[in-house]
Structure 1
Amino acid sequence: MSSPAIKLLTASVVLCFGCASFAANQTINTDLVVVGAGSAGLSAAVQGAELGKKVVLLEKNPYVGGNSQHAEGLFAVDSEWNRLRSDPLTRQQAYEAFIKKQNHLVDPYKNKDFVEGSGENISWLASHGIEFEVRRETPDKDNTWHIIKNYKGTNHGAGLIKGMKDAADKLGVTTMVSTPATDLITKDGKVVGVVAKDAKGNTYTINSKAVILASGSFGDDPQKVKEWGHRDPEGWKSSVPINKTGDGIVMATKIGAERGPVSFIGHLGTEGKGIKFLSNLYAVSWQPFNLWVNSDGQRFTDESTSNAFSEAANGIYAQHDHYGWAIFDTNTIDYCMTKGIDSGIGVLVPVGTQLKNLQQDIKDALAVDSDGFKEADSIAELAKKINVPAKNLEATVAEYNKTCELQHDPMFLKDRRYLKPINGKKYYALKLKSYFFSAYGGLVTNRQHQVLDTHHKPIPGLYAAGLEVSNMVGPTYPDFFSGHAFGFASYSGRHAAINAAETMK
């Protein structure tokens, strides 16, 4: 497969990396280059190595993992784990529901392949020592969420990354961190490698038979969020900034790749002085029993939309200046502290978590006069503090309380389980904003995960996987099937490697 000289060179890369810098303008020869070491890139690297290919894995950050480190579980249906639970959802039902709910604005073939192969993909990951369990995230979602339960004492996305990195190391994958790819190398219209540059300024020409782009999407570049995603980056912010700036997409379009539609894995949340991410006070912003109002002091949606976090982000973003307020009272605080929350933030803050520190969080936010949280003795006073018309807010609260009394919401048809009146001793407002975990999309690929050019033809030698791939989701991320992005990242990385290896025969 490789000459002794190439084997020696590759071995020297493994031995020397981390202990001494390479000489400037180093040349490396390999079979497969994978750009990006998140779950898509690591899955591609491991699968490629299992198929007997020499693999070089590049990562621009000083660590592997990407967004996947912060993920929790992968989508799968009809998996062995589903079978043992007698979960009723079938692959055909999942596929049909997904296509319809995405308004057919997706690639039917790649989505069909993904749904059909999702269970096998979990089994492949499990064969590397990763343990799973299936959970249902909210009442609105199906049993597709395969949580990483454990890998050598580490769980969730970090466990999968650790497991795949261990597998890559055992298989002899050459991993180079702090070494982003900067350009694709082409010859006679075919991609034959990449140019990379490390943090010390050393440049590498890496010759290969195929390249898989798996560097994530572009969400940490506000200008691309505005130009490619058509969103105001001030009102639509990245909540997990890890230096994802669309590098793979840019490199591919430089050589004639077609840039495809993009989406976002949106979610609701809050911010402001004295409010910490994932704190008890932050968790209140996700609760379906709050009353949501916009800057006019009027309701704008069924607040239990918070159970579908990506849809909730859309509803908030659609308001003037892209924000709203969650209104609640002392009864809500008591409920959250004693009964626990109704809507979890994934498995990081699970359903039923008792917010024991909520009173202290409130005190901390009030002590710094937080711009994102206000307290008042009356609705009129609260309206003044959040700068909404008092008459409107008083009317909205009165109408909402009547709705709660009747246990019927004629305007938005909110689930009556979440209809709780706002009539406590004190009143509170928590600012609602729209965020996203990651952008999704950028490059158009075919069923074999080959990147397509502007004439919709495959670019030989170039593949893409994970969140760089367009047309896997529509304008709104499908969180009704939990773990879709994480699942597709691993699945597409593997299958891009399988297809790339097949062309090398």
Structure 2
Amino acid sequence: MNENITTLKLTRRNFLAGSAAALLGTAGAAGLVGCAPAAKDDEKLADTGEAPAPKEPTATRDADIVIVGSGAAGCFAAYEAAKAGAGSVLVVTKSGNATDSNFNEITGTASVETAALKEAGETYTVDDMYERMINYAHWTVNARLLRECVSLLPSNIDIFDEMGVETMVLGDRYNFGFLNVHGFTGKNKGVNFEEGLTALGVEFLYDAPATHILMEDGRAVGVQCESGKDVINVNAKAVLVCTGGYLANEEKMAAEYGGCKVVSMGSLNNTGDGERIVLEAGGVAERIRGLGMNDIYGMNEKSTISVFDANPFMQLAFYGGLLTDPAGKRFMNEYMLAQEPMNGGGEATLHEKCYYAIFSENTVNAMKDAPYYQNIGAPAVWTSAATMFNAPLADFDANLAEAQEEGWCFKAATLAELAELTGLTALPETVAEYDQMVAAGADTLFLKDPAFLQPIEDGSAAYYAFEYNPSAFNTFGGPRTDENCCALDANSDPIPGLYVAGVENGSLFCSPYYAVGGSCSGLSQASGRVAARAMVDYLKQA
């Protein structure tokens, strides 16, 4: 269920589900004259804990609408605003070009009631989708905003068509019972949107991270951004912030998730700038925080390659076998990670700083000639494996050796020796208890589906432990908004002229990830459109 994959060092992202996060322009918050905290210099501001003041601009620009971020939300907002006759629309972004975003990398998005779905015989409706999502979120989100965003999902695909981005309906990988994910058949959709939006009169300012929202008399009246040595004040009548969340901000991630190391699969531009500047401008953070978890397979911080190009032994995290915490104890129903990696399965891994998949050498060696999925009888309940894990592990010997050299694959002659080698002190007792449940055909601890109960101790000459960290494509959560994506202050009053869309809209996404493939990208696109319509109406009233 994802849609956006990037390398650990660059940007990338995957598909079949939900995210597609918006991307980025950094931002900050403050104002024009008199809108920044009073102080003589940045050093004093740092000492007092107050936000640094905007710099003296070296240049100014004017626009009716300025959009901070060029990802899914930003591009769709620019489209909607331009189509609605907003006048001048300027996109300022930290991205270096049209392909430098999670949006460019996503490979699928959610929709319903499209021509392609109807042709495929799918009858799932907008009402069905909304009811599923609002109930899954337990009404923790803004119900009106979610309702409007879901209603826009069908026409999102029409916009892709208009921009020359072809899509095709993908299968029901997670056995949700309906088709909805539209996969992209080509690459570099960001280029299509840049060209199409430029033709509509939208301007892009790349390599120009926004550092402050400009405020005047309690209203957002523009942004300050920096481009090289230039400090540019963009004077605007309305401001939209959609910079893609904070997954690449290690300090903020540590504050949110404690000792759990979450490996970033998203853009390194996503450092939480948007949320920071909106809060500095008077916004308030919503309480919901979540992650668009990696649903391709396990990753860890000891390997630095992308998910799509990862060592195939990363897959073993998602095979539904025995998983343990760093003490060597089971901590979850492993089937959840095999079949629901972006939802409950991925969420469960966040309880541990890292986790381990335990296999016998006999079981591992069998993956050289046949996929594990087939070796355990191709369980009908494991629908994602039919598309994801349906082949033997490629370059078996070389990749296994590489995993050991990188320090995330451990091998020992006995389970006791493996426990000593890894520090998984409870591993021998855990395996003994687990194998008893396997023999009985019932997981009496976490009630895992019996199809995934495969023995560990099987007379092998050696045993393996593979180490993984939780990994994600993007964060969810940020400033609270109303149903029009207008930022709210601590009194729940709208901040005139200031809007938030995409994954950093704190009122749209739940935790864990919606049980709908492609919902991250689909809702990000739709929220950009909701914000654009509201901004155009705001301009008319100004």
For the aligned pair, the TM-score class normalised by the smaller chain equals: 0.7 to 0.9
Aligned Cα RMSD in Å?
2.7
Q: Distance in 2 between matches of 1:415 and 1:458?
A: 48
Distance 1:375-1:274 versus aligned 2 partners, 3 A rule: farther
- Contact residue 451 and residue 458 of structure 1 kept, 8 A: yes
Partner Cα separation in structure 1 for residue 90 and residue 177 of structure 2: 38
- Deviation of the 1:340 alpha carbon: 3.3
- Correspondence for 1:418: 452
Q: Which runs of no fewer than 5 residues in structure 2 stay unpaired?
A: 1-56, 374-381
1:397 Cα deviation from its structure 2 partner: 2.3
Of 188-197 and 88-97, deviating more is: 88-97
Alignment of 1:245 onto 2:271 = yes
Distance 1:98 1:501 in 2: 28
Instruction: After superposing the two structures, state which structure 1 stretch, 116-125 or 36-45, moved more.
Output: 116-125
2:428 alignment partner, one of 394, 401, 404: 394
Q: CA deviation at 1:137?
A: 5.7
Hey, what's the Cα distance between the residues in 1 that align with 2:385 and 2:196? Answer: 27
Pair 1:355-2:393 in alignment: yes
Q: 1:272 & 1:459 partners in 2: Cα distance?
A: 40
Matches of 1:33 and 1:344, distance apart in 2: 44
Paired residue secondary structure (2:286): strand
| 1:376-391 aligned within 5 A | 376-389=412-425
Please give the alpha-carbon distance, in whole angstroms, between the structure 1 residues aligned to 2:259 and 2:97: 26
C-alpha deviation, 1:273, in angstroms: 4.7
Give me the whole-angstrom Cα distance separating, in 2, the residues matched to 1:425 and 1:89. 52
**Residue equivalent to 1:314:** 347
Residue 145 and residue 358 in structure 1: after superposition, are their counterparts in 2 closer, same or farther (change >3 A)?
farther
- Cα deviation, residue 264, structure 1: 2.0
Match of 2:409 in 1: 373
8 Å CA contact 1:142, 1:481 repeated in 2: no
Q: CA deviation at 1:217?
A: 1.3
Q: Deviations over 1:99-143 (max 9, x none)?
A: 233232222111122222212222222222222222246435454
Cα deviation for residue 275 of structure 1 reads 7.4
- Counterpart of 1:135 in structure 2 is 170
Aligned to 1:327: 358
- Cα-to-partner distance string for 1:347-383 (whole Å, 9 max, x where unaligned): 9x834243222331111233x2x43211123222222
Equivalent residue, structure 1, for 2:44: none
Render the CA deviation track for 1:404-424: whole Å, top value 9, x for unaligned.
344432322222332322224
Give the direction of change, closer, same or farther, for the CA distance of 1:481–1:149 in structure 2 (3 Å limit): same
**Cα distance, 1:388 vs structure 2:** 1.9
Distance 2:535 2:244 in 1: 19
1:168 is aligned with what amino acid? L
Whether the aligned pair in 2 keeps the contact of 1:135 and 1:143 (CA below 8 Å) is: no
1:263 aligns with 2:298: no
For 1:344 and 1:371, the matched residues in 2 are separated by 31
Pair 1:477–1:328, CA change in 2 (3 A): same
Structure 1 residues 488 and 427, CA gap change in structure 2 (3 angstroms): same
Matched, 1:501 2:540: no
Change in Cα spacing, 1:428 to 1:74, as seen in structure 2 (3 Å) is same
Instruction: Report the Cα distance in structure 2 between the residues aligned to 1:233 and 1:399, rounded to whole angstroms.
Output: 28
Residue 455, structure 1, aligned to residue 491, structure 2: yes
Is contact 2:168–2:185 with CA below 8 Å preserved after alignment? no
Tell me the alpha carbon deviations over residues 307-332 of structure 1, each in whole angstroms, 9 at most, x when there is no partner: 2223333322324xx22210113444
| Greater Cα offset, 469-478 or 38-47 | 469-478
- Secondary structure (helix, strand or coil) at the match of 1:315 reads helix
Question: What does residue 327 of structure 2 align with?
Answer: 296
Name the SS for the 2:498 alignment partner. Answer: strand
Residues 332 and 109 (structure 1), Cα distance of their counterparts in 2 relative to 1, 3 Å cut = farther
Residues 144 and 481 of structure 1 are in contact (CA less than 8 Å); yes or no, is this contact kept in structure 2?
no
Match of 2:240 in 1: 212
Query: Which residue of structure 1 aligns with residue 211 of structure 2?
Result: 182
2:78 to 41, 45, 56: 45
Question: For residues 385 and 80 of structure 2, what CA distance do their matches in structure 1 show?
Answer: 29
Q: In 2, Cα distance between the equivalents of 1:80 and 1:374?
A: 50
Given the superposition, is the C-alpha separation of residues 344 and 131 from structure 1 closer, same or farther in structure 2, using an over 3 Å criterion? farther
In 1, distance between residues paired with 2:408 and 2:121? 44
Q: CA deviation at 1:334?
A: 4.6
CA distance in 2 between counterparts of 1:82 and 1:416 reads: 34
Cα pair 2:73 2:528 within 8 Å, conserved: yes
Cα distance in 2 for partners of 1:293, 1:411 equals 13
Change (3 A) 1:345 1:150: same
Q: How many aligned positions are there?
A: 465
Alpha carbons of 1:120 and 1:331: their partners in 2 closer, same or farther (altered >3 Å)? farther
- Letter paired with 1:266: M
Deviations 1:212-252 (A, max 9, x none): 1111212222222244xx31265234332512222222222
In 2, the alpha carbon distance for the partners of 1:173 and 1:95 equals 32
Q: Secondary structure at the match of 2:270?
A: coil
TM-score, normalised on structure 2?
A: 0.79
Cα distance change, pair 143–221 in 1 and its aligned pair in 2 (3 A): same
Task: State how far apart, in whole Å, the 1-side matches of 2:409 and 2:384 are.
Answer: 20
Seen in structure 2, the aligned counterparts of structure 1 residues 276 and 416 have a Cα distance that, compared at 3 Å, is farther
What is the aligned partner in structure 1 of residue 199 from structure 2?
170
For residues 389-412 of structure 1, what are the alpha-carbon distances to aligned partners after superposition, in whole Å with 9 as ceiling and x for unaligned?
A: 3xx423332333343344432322
Q: Is the 8 A contact 1:35 1:211 kept in 2?
A: yes
Counterpart of 1:60, as a letter, is: K
Preserved CA contact (<8 Å) 1:270 1:430: no
Q: Tell me, yes or no, if structure 1 residue 203 matches structure 2 residue 231.
A: yes
Over 3 Å counting, the alpha-carbon distance change for 1:181 and 1:429 in structure 2 is same
How far 1:439 sits from its partner (Å)? 1.5
After superposition, what is the alpha-carbon deviation per residue over 1:37-84, rounded to whole angstroms, capped at 9, x for unaligned?
A: 111111111222222321111111323442223322112233333222
2:442 corresponding residue in structure 1: 408
**Partner residue in 1 for 2:107:** 72
**Structure 1 residue 276: Cα displacement:** 4.5
**Matches of 2:463 and 2:261, distance apart in 1:** 26
**1:184 and 1:454 mapped to 2: Cα distance?**
17
% identity of equivalent residues: 24
Paired amino acid for 1:251: I
**Deviation of 1:256 (Å):** 1.2
Q: Does 1:193 align with 2:231?
A: no
CA 1:197/1:168 → structure 2, altered by over 3 Å: closer, same or farther? same
CA distance in 1, matches of 2:305, 2:441: 34
Task: Measure the CA separation in 1 of the matches of 2:383 and 2:360.
Answer: 20
Letter in 1 for 2:238: A
Native 8 Å contact 1:67 1:242 kept in 2: no
Q: Establish whether residue 96 from structure 1 lines up as the match of residue 128 from structure 2.
A: no
Compared CA separation, residues 43 and 282, structure 1 to 2 (3 A): farther
Q: Check 1:270–1:181 CA distance in 2 against 1; reply closer, same or farther (3 A cut).
A: closer
Task: Give 1:34 shift.
Answer: 0.7
How many Å apart are 1:33 and its aligned residue? 0.7
